[in-house]
Every structure is written in structure tokens, then in C-alpha cells.
């Protein structure tokens, strides 16, 4: 990380003056706690015994045989408690909140996955939890709303604007400004103002660290390729970061949605421009008037008009290659992985699987591809089955 939360020219803090003090407090607390032995031991204990780490690095032998070419391994974040990588970050930040003496956690959620992970972390750490959610999302994601409520969280429907994620973020920030003394704002991806992109990346980097030693153990060396889907970018930066200084090819897969026009996809890096969103200078999808665009992806976790600033930097330096896979490719990959390996992937990482399936046959059999399987696909059953019926 460059000074004051910049990744090259990206990142920084584009927030109202009223939030600077809170961000400074978060930054200085994190600087101390990240190296604190008792904090590290407590997080390690939770990740191991509560969340289920380490997750396996699984050799997908059937898929590899079917495709011919490079060996495909899956980093099984889908096996974590809650069914996705999000719990790594929620546990880390909830523990941070507790150590900072803030008993009230707030969060915002779109599809509800981050809200559920945060409600779980708050329940186990005995913190109060309030989740802001656009009213439209409350209706569309009723199962996750029920989960959050059962877990003891208060879900606040947001009725302003488009009644979706970006309005929920505005409400959460308003709450934080008002109640900053006792409140911790728990952000769900490596986005937002400094220090959030760094904090979330650090908590997710456990994925890449494990993957590194598992690859050495299983294959006698580092993988040739690491592939991950990119929404806000947290599962991708988590698996990429420990490999940044190695000769490993890194590929981030964005949501190509249903087409290439603005509004039909969520490919901020591949098709966006640089601009400010939610407190950071990064790549965004916006129209000619500079208004943030609507986005679309069949995978709700990828449906976001921005991306973490560190990814913008890694794109600009060329260290990571960013590509797109459309809805149809992800849906096909979902069915293929389900049938060949008996694993239902979430539609988000199904984008990364689809790219790996395209890549593997073009590579020699001694190369190794790792795909970050960021979550499980039970949540997407209805979407997939509706598509199968129509196709």
C-alpha cells in the first residue's frame, strides 16, 4: 500500500469532513491491533473453529479430464460457515469493533449475503447488529432477511432513491455520522474510503496464504494461474495478494451480464472509467452525464457499479488481467461443475469457473490453475432452474 491509502493514483478518501475523524480512529486502531498477538490469536481461533478454516484446495480431477489440458484446482471457500468467503472479513472486523469498544455494528447489504455474514459474526461476538437494505432488495431476498432477523439483527428497509444497495450505503453512512462514538461500520468488500480496502484485503488474504502452502504441498510449487471473480473484489484480492510478487498469472473475472451496453453488465474495470464512488477514486460505470449507471448480473454479488481501488491499480500496472464472462457462460459453468464434481458453485465464482474452462484446454497438462470458489450455489437454485426451463 502506498502512503495514506493510495494504490497508485487510486483509493484515498472522498468523504464528508464529519467522517475523517472516525476513519482516522479506525486506521490507528487497526494499525495497533493487526500486530497484537491476542487479537491475532482470537481471530485465528474463530476462523479455525467457528468458520471452518483452513478450506481445502481440491483437485477437480473429473473436470480436468473432461476439458483436457491444465490441472484445475478449486479453493473451497464455499465450505465455510455461511457458505462464502464473506465470513473471513465479517469476523475480522467484528472483532476489531469489539476491541475498539464499539458494541454497535452497522452494515449495508444488497443481496443479503454480507448482512447474513455480519449478523453471524455479531451474534457470536455478542455485538448488536443493524443492517440497512434497500426496500426492493428486502422483497427480492426475503430468505436472507429472515436469516438476519433470526440471528438477532435489526433489518432497516431503505425507501429512498432506487431502494437498492447504493441507497442502503447512504443510509448506513448517515447512521455512522450520527452515532459514531458507539458505532462500527462494517464494510463488506475492499471498497470505500481508506482504510477499508486495506483492512478487507488483509482479512481476506488468509485465502491466498493457505492456497500458497497447499499448492506447494500438493503440486510441489506455486500454481501457474489464479482466477477469481470480481464484484467489489474482496475474494479476488484475498487470493491474489500473497502471489503479487511471484511469477503467477492472475485473472479477475467480471460480470459481462446480458450484453455490452451500459446497464447490461457490471464490468467496472473492463468497461468503466475512472471516477469516485463511495469514498474512493477507482473505476466506475457511469453515463455521459457522470451519473452512476444501473448494472446487471445474474450473480447478485457481482452487481455493483464500482470496484476496489487496489484492483484499479493492478489493472493499470498490468499485474492482473481482467476479463468478462456473460450470464450464460456462468450458468453453463454452474451446471457443468455440479454434474462433473458434485459441487454447486455460487453464480459469482461460476464466472471464474467458466473462464478456467475456456483457458484449461489451451494449456499443457503440467500447468496448474487455481479457481477461487468463493461461495456455494444453493442460494442460486431458483435462478438456475428458471434458466434451465427456458433454455
Ligand X SMILES: *Cc1c(COP(=O)(O)O)cnc(C)c1O
Given 108, 171, 310, 348, the catalytic residue: 108
CB of 288 to ligand X, least distance (A): 27
CB of 34 to ligand X, least distance (A): 20
H or E element that contains 263: none
Q: Does 380 help bind ligand X (rule: CB under 6 A)? A: no
Give the one residue of 55, 64, 113, 268 binding ligand X; rule: CB under 6 A. Answer: 113
Is residue 121 within 8 Å of residue 98, measured between CB atoms? no
Given 71, 86, 98, 163, the catalytic residue: 86
Helix (H, G, I), strand (E, B) or coil at 183: strand
Buried b (16+ CB within 10 A) or exposed e, 275-287: bebbbbbbbbbbe
Q: Does 305 help bind ligand X (rule: CB under 6 A)? A: no
Question: Is 160 known to be catalytic?
Answer: no
Q: Which is nearer to ligand X, 233 or 256 (CB)?
A: 233
Q: Build a one-symbol-per-residue string for 253-272: x at contacts with ligand X by CB under 6 A, - elsewhere.
A: --------------------
Give the one residue of 109, 189, 214, 324 binding ligand X; rule: CB under 6 A. Answer: 189
Give the one residue of 64, 144, 183, 235 binding ligand X; rule: CB under 6 A. Answer: 235
Distance CA(250)–CA(266), nearest Å, equals 20
Q: Please report where in the chains the cell 500458497 appears, as a residue.
A: 212
Is residue 284 within 8 Å of residue 306, measured between CB atoms? yes
Question: Is 108 known to be catalytic?
Answer: yes
| Range in contact with ligand X (rule: CB under 6 A) among 20-28, 160-168, 172-180, 344-352 | 344-352
Considering only CA atoms, which of 275, 279, 322, 273 is closest in space to residue 302? 322
* Phi (first) and psi of residue 184, to 5 degrees: -110, 130
Give the one residue of 82, 208, 223, 232 binding ligand X; rule: CB under 6 A. Answer: 232
Distance CA(290)–CA(273), nearest Å, equals 10
Question: Is 264 known to be catalytic?
Answer: no
Provide the greatest CA pair distance for the chain. 58
Q: Does 329 help bind ligand X (rule: CB under 6 A)? A: no
| Residues at the interface with ligand X (CB under 6 A) | 84, 86, 113, 189, 229-236, 301-302, 346, 348-349, 374-375
Amino acid at each position: 500500500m502506498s502512503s495514506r491509502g493510495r494504490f497508485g493514483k487510486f483509493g484515498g478518501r472522498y468523504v464528508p469532513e464529519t467522517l475523517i475523524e472516525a476513519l482516522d480512529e479506525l486506521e490507528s486502531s487497526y494499525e495497533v491491533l493487526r500486530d497484537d498477538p491476542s487479537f491475532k490469536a482470537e481471530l485465528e481461533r474463530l476462523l479455525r473453529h467457528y468458520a471452518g478454516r483452513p478450506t481445502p484446495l481440491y483437485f477437480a480431477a473429473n473436470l480436468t479430464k473432461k476439458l483436457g489440458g491444465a490441472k484445475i484446482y478449486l479453493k473451497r471457500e464455499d465450505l465455510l460457515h455461511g457458505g462464502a468467503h464473506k465470513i473471513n472479513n465479517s469476523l475480522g472486523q467484528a472483532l476489531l469493533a469489539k476491541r475498539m469498544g464499539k458494541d454497535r455494528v452497522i452494515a449495508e447489504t444488497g443481496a443479503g449475503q454480507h448482512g447474513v455474514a455480519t449478523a453471524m459474526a455479531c451474534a457470536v461476538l455478542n455485538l448488536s447488529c443493524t443492517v440497512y437494505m434497500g426496500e426492493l432488495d428486502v422483497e427480492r431476498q426475503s430468505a436472507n432477511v429472515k436469516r438476519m432477523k433470526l440471528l438477532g439483527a435489526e433489518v432497516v428497509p431503505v425507501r429512498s432513491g432506487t431502494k437498492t444497495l447504493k441507497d442502503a450505503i447512504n443510509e448506513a453512512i448517515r447512521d455512522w455520522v450520527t452515532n459514531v462514538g458507539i458505532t462500527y461500520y462494517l464494510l463488506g468488500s475492499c471498497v470505500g474510503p481508506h482504510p477499508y480496502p486495506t483492512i478487507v484485503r488483509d482479512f481476506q488474504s488468509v485465502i491466498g496464504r493457505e492456497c500458497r502452502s497447499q499448492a506447494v504441498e500438493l503440486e510441489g510449487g506455486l500454481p501457474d494461474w489464479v482466477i477469481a471473480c470480481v464484484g467489489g473484489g474482496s475474494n479476488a484480492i484475498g487470493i491474489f495478494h500473497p502471489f503479487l510478487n511471484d511469477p503467477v498469472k492472475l485473472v479477475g473475472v467480471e460480470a459481462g451480464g446480458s450484453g455490452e451496453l451500459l446497464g447490461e453488465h457490471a464490468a467496472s474495470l473492463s468497461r468503466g472509467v475512472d471516477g469516485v464512488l463511495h469514498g474512493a477514486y477507482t473505476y466506475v460505470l457511469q453515463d455521459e452525464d457522470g451519473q452512476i449507471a444501473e448494472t446487471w448480473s445474474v450473480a447478485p454479488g457481482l452487481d455493483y457499479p464500482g470496484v476496489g481501488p487496489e484492483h484499479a491499480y493492478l489493472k493499470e500496472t498490468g499485474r492482473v488481467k481482467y476479463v468478462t464472462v456473460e450470464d450464460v457462460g456462468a450458468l453453463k459453468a454452474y451446471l457443468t461443475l455440479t454434474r462433473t464434481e458434485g459441487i454447486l458453485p455460487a453464480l459469482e465464482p461460476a464466472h471464474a469457473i467458466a473462464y478456467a474452462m475456456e483457458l484449461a484446454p489451451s494449456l499443457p497438462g503440467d500447468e496448474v490453475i487455481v479457481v477461487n470458489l468463493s461461495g456455494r450455489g444453493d442460494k442460486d437454485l431458483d435462478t438456475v432452474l428458471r434458466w434451465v426451463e427456458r433454455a
